[in-house]
Amino acid sequence: MITFVDAEAKTRRTAGVIPLHGEAGFAGMRKAGRLTAEALDVLVDAVRPGVTTAALDRLAYAFARDNNAIPATLFYKGYRHSICTSINHVVCHGIPDERPLRDGDIVNIDLTLIVEGWYGDSSRMFAVGEISRKAERLIDVTYAALEAGIAAAKPGNTTGDIGAAIQTLAETERTSVVRDFVGHGVGQLFHDEPNIMHFGVPGTGVPLKPGMIFTIEPMINLGRPHVKILPDGWTAVTRDRTLSAQAEHSIGITETGNEIFTLSPKGLFNPLAARR
């Protein structure tokens, strides 16, 4: 059973209850999404060989503090950092540490900033120095997959149409879609209804309605889709150790399509494309 509720109604969010946001929600998400994107833009300049992911984490924390925002992952379910840094075969939820980035690494940085109670959630791929052609291709496919998903995010379609668009694009390019992590409703909660799967069957799932706000965040692997979690309890890696990439936007469904809240003011959402 799916029920839609006014996001401002103080209804408890149980499974199957999908909040529909009004202008206040869209305004809140615009602000939070923009600040998150600005923080990621700052990180584009900072990512280079020799920099540690812990240093990037400190940079993100300082940016948040200086802009009256709170990193949503800080103390979230025991997580102790402002960003996730997922390098090479790490699929997602990589933990910042003191190991320096190396020439040829690809790294996803995922940041969620809370601004006046609204959560802007976004991630991008960063290339460290010169990367391989296969890494570059994977990153291009990942951004194209996210774009295909966003293009399908409109009234009249369903969540399954988003997943199918992403899966078709990824598999046509002989890459695979990770099944174990999904996009999610976002707003005044970090993870809300509905789940947005990055694979699926057209026409199935939840009908998309104006006012729905959620992330799309496909994780795409060069090899097989299977992942395992390392003993730290967070880091997800590809089982076959092939490269993995991810890109994430927070979007809202409008009457005619969607609004992307986490666009880069500097045009650096795909930093690799920006420097070609």
* Sites of contact with ligand MF3 (CB under 6 A): 73, 76-77, 79, 84, 93, 110, 112, 121, 215, 217, 234, 248
Q: Look at residue 36 and give the partner it binds from ligand MF3, Co ion, none, a contact being a CB closer than 5 to 8 Å depending on partner kind.
A: none
The one of Co ion, ligand MF3, none whose footprint includes residue 4, by CB under 5 to 8 A per kind, is none
Q: Letter for the amino acid at 144?
A: A
Residue 161 lies near Co ion (rule: CB under 5 A):
no
* Interacting partner of 26 out of Co ion, ligand MF3, none (Cβ under 5 to 8 A depending on kind): none
The nearer residue to ligand MF3, 136 or 195, going by C-beta atoms, is: 195
In angstroms, rounded to a whole number, what is the distance separating the alpha carbons of residues 217 and 66? 27
Contact 28, 117 (CB under 8 A): yes
Least Cβ distance, residue 255 to ligand MF3 (angstroms)? 27
Determine, following the binding rule CB under 5 A, whether residue 121 of this chain makes contact with Co ion. yes
Q: Please give the Cα distance from 179 to 200 (Å, whole number).
A: 10
Q: Which residues are CB-neighbours of 274 under 8 A, at least 6 positions away?
A: 44, 267, 268
Which amino acid would we find at residue 78? G
Least Å distance, CB 111 to ligand MF3, is: 7
To the nearest whole angstrom, how small is the minimum distance from the Cβ of residue 181 to ligand MF3?
A: 8
Supply 16's token pair: 């199957």
Residues 203-232 that bind Co ion (CB under 5 A): 215
Q: Which does 73 bind (CB under 5 to 8 A by kind): Co ion, ligand MF3, none?
A: ligand MF3
61 binds, among ligand MF3, Co ion, none (CB under 5 to 8 A by kind): none
Residue 88 interacts with Co ion (CB under 5 A)?
Answer: no
3-state secondary structure 176-241: EECCCCCEEECCCCCCEEEEECCCCCCCCCCECCCCCEEEECCEEECCCCCEEECCCCCCEEECCC
Compute the distance between CA of residue 153 and CA of residue 183 in angstroms, rounded to an integer: 13
- Of 31 and 137, the one with the shorter C-beta distance to ligand MF3 is 31
Gyration radius of the chain over CA positions? 17
CB of 52 to ligand MF3, least distance (A): 18
**Positions that interact with Co ion (CB under 5 A):** 110, 121, 123, 215, 248
